[in-house]
Amino acid sequence: MPVEETTVPVTTKIRNTGGVLFTFGVLTALLYFGRLFIVTLLMSIFIAFILEPVVNLFMRARLPRGFASFLVCSLALVILYLFAVLGYSQASGIWEELPAYTQRVNQLSEKVLVQVEGVEKAVNDMLTPRRARDQERIAREQQQQAELQKQSTRRKRATDPPMSPLLPPPVQEVRIASERSPVVEYLYENWTQFYDIALMASFVPFLVYFMLSWRDHFVHNFLRVFHGEARGIAAATIDGIARMARAYVVGNFILGLLLAGASMAFFYIFKVPYWLIVGPLSGFLSLVPYIGLPLAIIPPFLAALTVYDNLAEYLVIGTTVAFFHLLALNLFYPKLVGSRVHLNPLAVTVGLMFWGFLWGGIGLVLAIPLTASLKAICDHMPGLAPYGRLMGD
């Protein structure tokens, strides 16, 4: 009897563990193969979280939720269009100056190679004895004389009359080079992928509008699925996820705007070209977890290639961008975002690895809010509360 009482719980635990692993595998497969649809839906949800406070502000002026949602979405599209026009004008200027950038990069590369060769020669001169250097010089001279003798022999043979009738030269296949630029060629080869992304992106405005205008209807009817105590747990879970996601998304958005404004002001004063597009790009890239600082430094460095030659000027740009990055993450980030997420560094790192593996770059952007949402679900469900504490700070 004691053996049976011990065996049954162990078997049950093994079955439960197998079921959990199977469910996790199925969900991971669905997240991977349906990533375009799921990412589009998640991006729409996060945009709706950003715009929800503005809708509530319009509703305080006694406007219906549907009309307020329409006004907010229209205003967001107008602002996005203005930024797109501004970005296009700046990008077109960069495209026109692309040959100058290419030439400048080649010049800097040659300069660096010359400096490296000089350092290598100096080190070689320091480490190589004089006698060994003389032997190497003599060997090089002998090798050059042998090469000159071989070339003279080949020229003499070429001037001699041919011993056999010459054969007609082989017909070579003439290939017409593609007239398309590398960018157009890449778009042409991957047009199906870009078409799918553009198709899913076209649904985002409609999804955001319906999420904002029908929010009360969706929440009310979703809670009616649950009964008794489970309804209260579901309501608390939704409220916790909404507050956390809104705090994270809105906090990062505000922090990105602050970084973009400070970066644009500095780049304008320091006369960095295309500061209107380089500043926001550097500011928002600085918010990418773990690799935000090097990503934020790349755009101003590339823009300054045709202007600055001295290393000190690039050091000033890099130091200033690093100062903005550290100031934002250590002073503003804990107040705007960190107090609502409550994730420990290990959970953040594992979340970045998991979502980045599934969805690539966009997975790194969405990793923290998704992991924090999973923690909020675990915190409000009695059976999963230990896992929420495991991910907590």
Residue pLDDT, tens place only, 261-286: 999 999 999 888 888 888 888 888 88
Lowest mean pLDDT among 89-98, 365-374, 379-388: 89-98
- Asked whether residue 253 is assigned to any structural domain, the reply reads no
- Which pLDDT score, from 0 to 100, does residue 131 have? 58
- Asked whether residue 43 is assigned to any structural domain, the reply reads yes
Q: What is the Cα–Cα distance from 80 to 194, expressed in whole angstroms?
A: 20
Question: What is the mean pLDDT of the segment spanning 282-305?
Answer: 85
- Which pLDDT score, from 0 to 100, does residue 171 have? 52
Q: What is the Cα–Cα distance from 304 to 274, expressed in whole angstroms?
A: 9
> What's 165's DSSP letter?
P
- Asked whether residue 66 is assigned to any structural domain, the reply reads yes
- Asked whether residue 247 is assigned to any structural domain, the reply reads no
CA-closest candidate to residue 372, choices 226, 242, 229: 242
The b/e string for 207-217 (b: 16+ C-beta within 10 A; e otherwise) is bbbbbbbebee
Q: Which tokens is 96 given?
A: 């026109």
- Asked whether residue 274 is assigned to any structural domain, the reply reads no
Q: How many domains does the chain have?
A: 1
Q: Which tokens is 383 given?
A: 């059976």
Percent of all residues in the chain with a pLDDT value above 70, rounded to a whole number? 77
Which residue range is the domain that position 67 belongs to?
35-74
The helix or strand, by DSSP H or E, that contains position 286, with its residue range, turns out to be: none
- Which pLDDT score, from 0 to 100, does residue 348 have? 82
> What's 305's DSSP letter?
T
Q: How confident is the model at residue 121 (pLDDT cuts 50, 70, 90)?
A: confident
Q: What is the Cα–Cα distance from 336 to 303, expressed in whole angstroms?
A: 31
- Asked whether residue 42 is assigned to any structural domain, the reply reads yes
Q: What is each CA distance from 279 to 186, 388, 389, in whole angstroms?
A: 27, 38, 39
Please compute, for residue 148, the number of CA atoms within 13 A of its CA located in the half-sphere on the CB side.
Answer: 6
Q: What is each CA distance from 372 to 137, 251, 347, 393, in whole angstroms?
A: 67, 14, 9, 11
> How confident is the model over 170-219, as pLDDT tens digits?
555 544 444 555 555 666 676 777 777 888 888 888 998 998 888 888 88
- Which pLDDT score, from 0 to 100, does residue 106 have? 73
- Which pLDDT score, from 0 to 100, does residue 145 have? 78
CA angle 369, 372, 373 (to 5 degrees): 85
- Asked whether residue 95 is assigned to any structural domain, the reply reads no
Question: What is the mean pLDDT of the segment spanning 2-22?
Answer: 60
Q: What is the Cα–Cα distance from 20 to 362, expressed in whole angstroms?
A: 27
- Asked whether residue 46 is assigned to any structural domain, the reply reads yes
> How confident is the model over 40-59, as pLDDT tens digits?
888 888 888 888 888 888 88
